[in-house]
Amino acid sequence: MRNLIAALIIVLALPETALALDTSTGPVRIEKVADGLRGPWAIGFLPDGGVLVTEKRGRLWHIQDGRARRVAGLPEVAVQGQGGLLDILVPRDFAESRQIYLTHAKPQAGGSGTALSVGRLSADGTRLTGTQVIVEMTPGSTGGKHFGSRLVEGRDGKIYMSVGERGDRPAAQDLSRHNGSILRLNRDGTAPGDNPFVDHPGAQPEIWSYGHRNPQGLAMDAQGRIWANEHGARGGDEVNLIAKGANYGWPIIAYGRHYSGSQIGEGTAKPGLEQPVMYWDPSIAPSGMAFHSGKTRQAWRDNAFVGSLKFDYIARLAGSPLAEVERIESPETRRVRDIREGPDGAIWFLSEDRGALYRMVPE
């Protein structure tokens, strides 16, 4: 009954909603796949054509064949501030494993922490079974800021997961805490033996890179490299190429400034600390990130697409080093929270404000 009501709320796209939009690489149309979503956060594609969408408030939807059904069996989610049900990963072996990975804020004594849970999707796609928390950040915070969190399955089969610093700046430099880091995990949540800090006394062995602020985009390119975007301080949102064991500098160096206008830490660069590949000033509040295969538009090949929460557009990044070459804007690109290339080669994205899932298709 609950699923039935939900199905009524979510409206599936009708052909007439498709709009033509000119972009610098040619026209695209933006088609609505579903609306009626409340605070949608992440998209996952199932191999049978189904699509999963998370809502921060703690709901997971299974959209297929003109129908949206709610998925039960979620982990316990702490919905507070920027925290809630966050990213989703459908691993490459889903057809065999049926595993679905979810990041979320997990209730902790006195607050909440970013966590990773995994469960198996039932054959009818409406229930996760055996759901359990397999990674949980070192005590998070009572605050509601900077949870991260995005997931990527590396070419090496490991899971990469971004964790925000929870507003606790020094913790981003503290290897004994997960705050402000990108983790690399085995499929069962344990730390691989070749992670960079496994032999470092007191360090959390899951840490792959650190010194991040609030990474809300994570993507793998065609060469298998891992990239992240993160919310920096004012005027310092970054794109980073993630290297094993590297320190991305927060809060020692940053291109942004405190909201008061005062300088952060020691400036913009320091030996031993990584430079971003690019930064946005003013900040765009980036969320989601995907590299395109070029399948439906050759000019998009190896381009990165990033959503802007603040300025309501999709950023297209190209070149080496990556730089923003285009801002794709339409009535649909309001607070773009997640962006992915679908199995169809279209750019799928979520508008948080419009509560809708769209596909952007080259014409």
Residues that bind a second copy (CB under 8 A): 155, 194-196, 198-200, 222-225, 241, 243-247, 255, 268-279, 302, 320-323
Q: Which is nearer to a second copy, 37 or 273 (CB)?
A: 273
Shortest spacing between CB 240 and a second copy, in angstroms? 10
The answer to whether 146 is a known catalytic residue is yes
Q: Which is nearer to a second copy, 66 or 157 (CB)?
A: 157
Q: Please give the C-alpha separations between residue 99 and each of 127, 275, 304, in angstroms, as whole numbers.
A: 12, 36, 27
Exposure of 146 in the CB half-sphere (CA atoms within 13 A): 24
Q: Are 6 and 309 in contact (CB under 8 A)?
A: no
Q: Are 102 and 59 in contact (CB under 8 A)?
A: no
Name beta bridge partners: 257.
234, 263
123-156 in b/e burial notation, b at 16+ Cβ within 10 A?
eebebbeebeebbbbebbbeebebbbbbbbbeee
Q: Which is nearer to a second copy, 130 or 157 (CB)?
A: 157
Shortest spacing between CB 341 and a second copy, in angstroms? 17
Q: Which is nearer to a second copy, 59 or 213 (CB)?
A: 213
Spatial strand order of the sheet with 40-45 comes to: 40-45, 51-55, 59-64, 67-70
Angstrom distance (rounded) from CA 193 to CA 35: 44
Q: Which is nearer to a second copy, 187 or 200 (CB)?
A: 200
Shortest spacing between CB 307 and a second copy, in angstroms? 20
Shortest spacing between CB 16 and a second copy, in angstroms? 39
Shortest spacing between CB 25 and a second copy, in angstroms? 17
Shortest spacing between CB 197 and a second copy, in angstroms? 8
Q: Please give the C-alpha separations between residue 254 and each of 212, 219, 287, 296, in angstroms, as whole numbers.
A: 10, 22, 19, 37
Angstrom distance (rounded) from CA 152 to CA 45: 13
Q: For the chain, percent helix, then strand, then coil, each to nearest 5?
A: 5, 45, 50
Angstrom distance (rounded) from CA 81 to CA 322: 32
Q: Which is nearer to a second copy, 217 or 276 (CB)?
A: 276
Kindly name the residue from 146, 212, 231, 292 that is annotated as catalytic.
146
**Active-site residues: which are they?**
146
